[in-house]
Structure 1
Amino acid sequence: MTENMKPSGIAWIGDIPESWDIKRVKYLASLKGRIGWQGLTSDEYLDEGPYLITGIDFKNGKVDWNSCVHVSKERWEEAREIQIENGDLLITKDGTVGKVAVISDLDDLASLNSGVLVIRTKPDFDRKFLYWVLLSEEFWTWFRLKNAGNSTIIHLYQNDFAEFTYTFPNYSEQTQIANFLDKQCEKINSVATDIEKQIELLQKYKESLITETVTKGLDKTVAMKDSCIEWIGDIPQHWEVKRIKHCCSNVGSGTTPESSNFDFYDGEINWIQSGDLYGINTIEQTEKSITDLALKTYSTLKVYRADYVVVAMYGASVGNVAIAKINACVNQACCVLEATPQSDVRYLYYWLSHCKEDLIQQSFGGGQPNISQQKIKNEPMLSLPFDEQTQIANYLDKKCSKIDSIIESKKEQLEKITQHKKSLIYEYVTGKKRVKGANFNGN
C-alpha cells in the first residue's frame, strides 16, 4: 500500500504522507521542569530516599538509578508536577543538551533537578514515538537553527521547546513505528557495542605492547635485573634507570601572548597548544600561529626545532604525547622534551606514552590533573644504547601503525553504523519510509 505525499511546510523535513499531521509540542504534550528548588544544595544529597534525576544519569535512553543521588521525601513533595513515574519521557535542557530517556524500572519516588524536563503526551499521542523524534535530525536540525548565533553555552529553553513542530501519523502507526525502531535500533546498538569493545581491546593491546617493549626490549634471551621500581619491574641487565631530565638535552615550555593584542597572532611561527595533541601521534600543523613580535616580546617563548616530544600538562588533553614534526613555540600547558644526540626521539615518545597514567596519577589535586614540568623531569626513564632505542622505535612504529590502521577502520565502521541509525530514525519518523503492514488509517 502506498500513499500520496504532501509538502510539510518545513524545509528540513520536506514532503510527508498525506494522512500525517503537523503540530507544535505544546498542543500534544505538557512540559514540566523545575525553576530552582528553594535553595537546594549538594549538602542535602542523601544515600537513600527519593531519587533526584540529573542529566548525568541518562544512559542509552534510560535512567541509571545506581548513579542517581537522593533527597528527602519533604524535598520530593515540594514539586508535585515533576514527581516522576514509569513511562515518563525526559529530556535534558542544560549541560549535555538533548539527551533523552524513558523512565522504566522505577521502584521508588523520584524527582528532577533543574536541568531536566518531563514530557507527558496526551492520550492520542504515543510517547515513545516522540522519543524517537527527539533522537532524530527532525529535532536536531530545528534545535541547531534555533540556537544559531547564540553563545557557546547552549540551552534548551522550555518556551522554545514548546514551539518545536513535528510530524506524526495516527496513534496506531505511531506505536508501530516506535516498536519497529525499538527493535531495529537495538540490533544496531548491539553491533556498535561490539565494535566499540573491539576498539577498546585494540587500544589496550597497543598500550601493553608499548609497555612490554620499552621496559623489556626485543631480545627475549637477555639477562634481566630488578629495576627497583614496581611499575617498571625487571629490565635488561645492561639498561639503567635514570630520570627523564638526564635523558634529554632540554625540558621546557612556553606561554600565551596577550590574547587581545592582534599583533601577536596569525604570524609565521607555529604555536602549539595542548589541544593540538588531542587524538594524534605527530604534530604537523597547529590551530594557531604567532608573530615574530610576540616571540621578541615574551622571553618565555622560544622556537623549538623539530623533531621533539610534546606533553600536555593540563586541560582536556592532559597526559597526551606527540612528536612535533614542525618548528614551533608552545603555550604554558605544553612541556617540550628535546632528545640528546644519544637518544632516539621516538623512544622518548614511546616511553612517555607508557608513563602517561603514572604521571596523571601523581598529579591529581583539587580537580583536574595538572602535570608539572618538575614531575615530568623527575619521572624515571630507562637509559639504553642508541641502537637498541632505534630498533625498539622501528619495531613499535611498524606494529603500532598496523594497530592504528585497524582501529581507524573500526571507527569508520562505527561512524557508518551511526549514520545509518540516524537515517533510519529520520526516514521513519518523517514518513519517508513506512513500517511494513502498518495501519495507515488507524482502523
Structure 2
Amino acid sequence: METMKQSGVRWIGEIPSSWNTKRIKYMANLKGRIGWQGLTSEEYQDEGAYLITGVDFDNGGIDWENCVHVPMRRWEEAKDIQIQNGDLLITKDGTIGKVAIVSDMPGETSLNSGVLRIIPIEGYSRRFLYWVIKSDEFWNWFNFRNAGNSTIIHLYQGDFAEFIYTFPDYDEQEAIASYLDAQCGQLDDIINDLEKQIDISKAYRKSLITEAVTKGLDKTVPMKDSGVDSIGNVPLHWEVKDIKYISQLITKGATPDDISIIKDDLHPIRFLKAENIQNGILWQEPEFFITKSDSINLQRASLQDKDILFVIAGATIGKVAIMRNALRPCNLNQAVCLIRINKDQCPEYFTYALQSDITTVAINLLTVQSAQPNLSMGNIANIKLPVPPEDEQKEIYNYLTTQCAAIDEVINVKIEQLEKMRKHESSLIFEYVTGKKRVKEVQ
C-alpha cells in the first residue's frame, strides 16, 4: 500500500504520497460573462443561440428543452464562453455550486452571468474535477472561505480561482471519474426512487386530507355545490366560509432588531420563524429568542394555545402548525401569521383544512408571477374553507390524526433511508477524490 502524507489542507487531511495539491487557477482557465456585456433577460427570445442559466442544470447535465435563446450577436461577442460539448460548468448565483458537463449540445450556446465555464489545461481531467466540485472537498473549502457570512449568495470567480484540491496523475483521475460515474449512477437511481416514494406518500397524505375536509367521513349524505372550484361538492348540511368569519384574530408578527439564539435565563421569550413550521408540526429547533421588551412591542403576535400558525412568505409558504402551551410565551416573525379560530369551532380541524389542496390552489392563484411569493392578511382572511358542524370537525380531526400518523411514519422511514443514501454517496465521493480509497483496490 502506498504511504500517506499530510495535504496541508485541514478539510482534505492525508493524501497518497504520489498525489499533489494546487489551486484551480493553475490547472484550469475560468471563463464567465463579464459585466460590460450587459446581457439582460429582456433580450431572451425563442430563437437564436442557446443560453445556459442556473435553472437549466439537471442531474449533472443541461436541460436543453427549457433553455432560453439570445440573439446570435450575443454568442459571437463573447468568445470565451462559446460553449462546446464536454465543457464543465458551475453555478455562481442562486443555488451555488451546481455542476454539469455539457453534452448533446443542439446549437451555438453561451452562458448568462450566473454560470462559469471551467476549462482544465492538459493533464487535468474535467470529469475528475466534476466529482471534486460535487464533493465535500469543495464544500468544506467554500464554507471555510465564507465562515461567519450568513448572507453569501454568490461564488465569486476570484475566490473560486483560489480553490485548492488534490489530484493523482491523469490516468488515475480518469479512472476515479469512471468509477464514480458507475457507482454514483447506481446510488442516484436508489435516491431518485426514494424521492419519488416520498413525493407519492406526501401527495397521498394531501389527497386524503382534501377528501376528508371537503366530503366528510359519511359518504351517504346528500351533497351540494360549494360554489368554489377547489372545494367542489360538500355535504348538504355544511357551510363554506371565509376564514375571517370563523376567526377572532388574523395577524402576523414582526422582526425586532436583535434576535438571539441564546436564551435569557430570567425571561426567555421564544421567537418562532418559518423554519419552525412543518405540515401540522411545530418544531422547537432552531431556537430563537427575543427580549421581554421586544415581546411587549409584539403583543399582537403573542401566541395562545391552539392558535394556527401559517407561513405567508418565502419558499415554505403555506406550511401550517398549531400552537401548544408547552412553547409559550412566544411571538412570531413577519413571515408567519396566526389565525385564532372562534371558540365554537375546532382549530385542529382547520389546521388540516389549511393543509389541503384548497389552500394550495388559493396560494397559487394569489402568488402567480411573483418572484418572492407572499400573502397579505387580507389574502388569508378571504380564503374559503368548508365548515362542518363542530362535532364533525372533531371526528374528521381524529380520523386524520390517525391516518396521517401512519403515513408520516412511512414518510419518515423513507426520509431516513434517503439521508443515509445521500451521506453514503457523499462519503464515497470524498474518499475517492482525496485518495483515502483508491480505484485500483476495487478493480
Tell me if both proteins adopt one fold, taking TM over 0.5 as the criterion.
Answer: yes
Measure how far apart 1:104 and its partner are.
0.5
SS of residue in 2 equivalent to 1:143? helix
Which residue matches 2:360?
357
Q: Distance in 1 between matches of 2:252 and 2:4?
A: 62
SS of residue in 2 equivalent to 1:23? strand
Which residue matches 2:282?
282
Q: Distance in 2 between matches of 1:129 and 1:371?
A: 46
Change (3 A) 1:316 1:390: same
Matched-pair contact (CA < 8 Å) for 1:253–1:330: no
Name the aligned partner's letter for residue 128 of structure 2.
F
Name the aligned partner's letter for residue 197 of structure 1.
K
Which residue matches 1:347?
349
Kindly provide the CA deviation profile for residues 330-379 of structure 1, in whole angstroms up to 9, marking residues without a partner as x.
34443322233332211111112223213213322662333333333333
Deviates more, 1:365-374 or 1:43-52: 365-374
Change (3 A) 1:383 1:26: closer
Q: Distance in 2 between matches of 1:404 and 1:29?
A: 47
Which of 368, 386, 391 aligns to 1:382? It is: 386
Kindly provide the CA deviation profile for residues 261-311 of structure 1, in whole angstroms up to 9, marking residues without a partner as x.
99xx9654444444432565236578444444345546x625332012122
Name the aligned partner's letter for residue 371 of structure 1.
L
Measure how far apart 1:195 and its partner are.
0.4
Measure how far apart 1:396 and its partner are.
0.4
Pairing 1:146-161 to 2, within 5 Å after superposition? 146-150=145-149, 152-161=151-160
Kindly provide the CA deviation profile for residues 123-178 of structure 1, in whole angstroms up to 9, marking residues without a partner as x.
22221011111111122212222222346124333333333222222222211111
Which residue matches 2:374?
370
Which of 431, 436, 441 aligns to 1:427? It is: 431
SS of residue in 1 equivalent to 2:130? helix
Deviates more, 1:363-372 or 1:279-288: 279-288
Kindly provide the CA deviation profile for residues 36-76 of structure 1, in whole angstroms up to 9, marking residues without a partner as x.
14322222222111112222221111121222221222121
Which residue matches 1:14?
13
Q: Distance in 2 between matches of 1:371 and 1:294?
A: 24
Kindly provide the CA deviation profile for residues 211-270 of structure 1, in whole angstroms up to 9, marking residues without a partner as x.
11111111222233333333222222322233333333x1221442652699xx965444
Q: Distance in 2 between matches of 1:138 and 1:261?
A: 33
Change (3 A) 1:257 1:179: closer
Which residue matches 2:401?
397
SS of residue in 2 equivalent to 1:232? coil
Which residue matches 1:143?
142
Matched-pair contact (CA < 8 Å) for 1:8–1:22: yes
Q: Distance in 1 between matches of 2:183 and 2:136?
A: 17
Q: Distance in 1 between matches of 2:235 and 2:159?
A: 66
Deviates more, 1:129-138 or 1:323-332: 323-332
Q: Distance in 1 between matches of 2:193 and 2:240?
A: 41
Pairing 1:290-301 to 2, within 5 Å after superposition? 290-294=290-294, 296-297=296-297, 301=300
Q: Distance in 2 between matches of 1:381 and 1:280?
A: 17
Measure how far apart 1:390 and its partner are.
1.2
Unaligned runs of 5+ in 1: none
Pairing 1:118-133 to 2, within 5 Å after superposition? 118-133=117-132
Measure how far apart 1:4 and its partner are.
2.5
Q: Distance in 2 between matches of 1:255 and 1:50?
A: 47
Q: Distance in 2 between matches of 1:437 and 1:275?
A: 44
TM-score, length-scaled by structure 2: 0.89
Pairing 1:32-431 to 2, within 5 Å after superposition? 32-150=31-149, 152-248=151-247, 250-256=248-254, 258-259=256-257, 267-278=267-278, 281-282=281-282, 287-294=287-294, 296-297=296-297, 301=300, 303-326=302-325, 327=328, 328-354=330-356, 355-364=358-367, 367=370, 368-431=372-435
Larger radius of gyration: 1
Alpha carbon RMSD of aligned pairs, Å? 2.6
Q: Distance in 2 between matches of 1:136 and 1:188?
A: 15
Deviates more, 1:409-418 or 1:300-309: 300-309
SS of residue in 2 equivalent to 1:251? strand
Name the aligned partner's letter for residue 366 of structure 2.
S
Q: Distance in 2 between matches of 1:164 and 1:261?
A: 34
SS of residue in 1 equivalent to 2:128? helix
The sequence identity of aligned pairs, in percent, is 50
Deviates more, 1:374-383 or 1:384-393: 374-383
Q: Distance in 2 between matches of 1:332 and 1:357?
A: 20
Which residue matches 1:25?
24
Q: Distance in 1 between matches of 2:426 and 2:41?
A: 37
SS of residue in 2 equivalent to 1:220? coil
Q: Distance in 2 between matches of 1:324 and 1:415?
A: 29
Name the aligned partner's letter for residue 428 of structure 2.
L
Deviates more, 1:405-414 or 1:319-328: 319-328
SS of residue in 1 equivalent to 2:339? strand
Q: Distance in 2 between matches of 1:302 and 1:115?
A: 39
Matched-pair contact (CA < 8 Å) for 1:284–1:324: no
Q: Distance in 2 between matches of 1:417 and 1:301?
A: 45
Matched-pair contact (CA < 8 Å) for 1:46–1:69: yes
Matched-pair contact (CA < 8 Å) for 1:33–1:112: yes
Change (3 A) 1:352 1:374: same
Change (3 A) 1:226 1:293: same
Q: Distance in 2 between matches of 1:117 and 1:307?
A: 50
Change (3 A) 1:40 1:382: closer
Change (3 A) 1:48 1:232: same
Kindly provide the CA deviation profile for residues 77-101 of structure 1, in whole angstroms up to 9, marking residues without a partner as x.
1121221101111112233222111
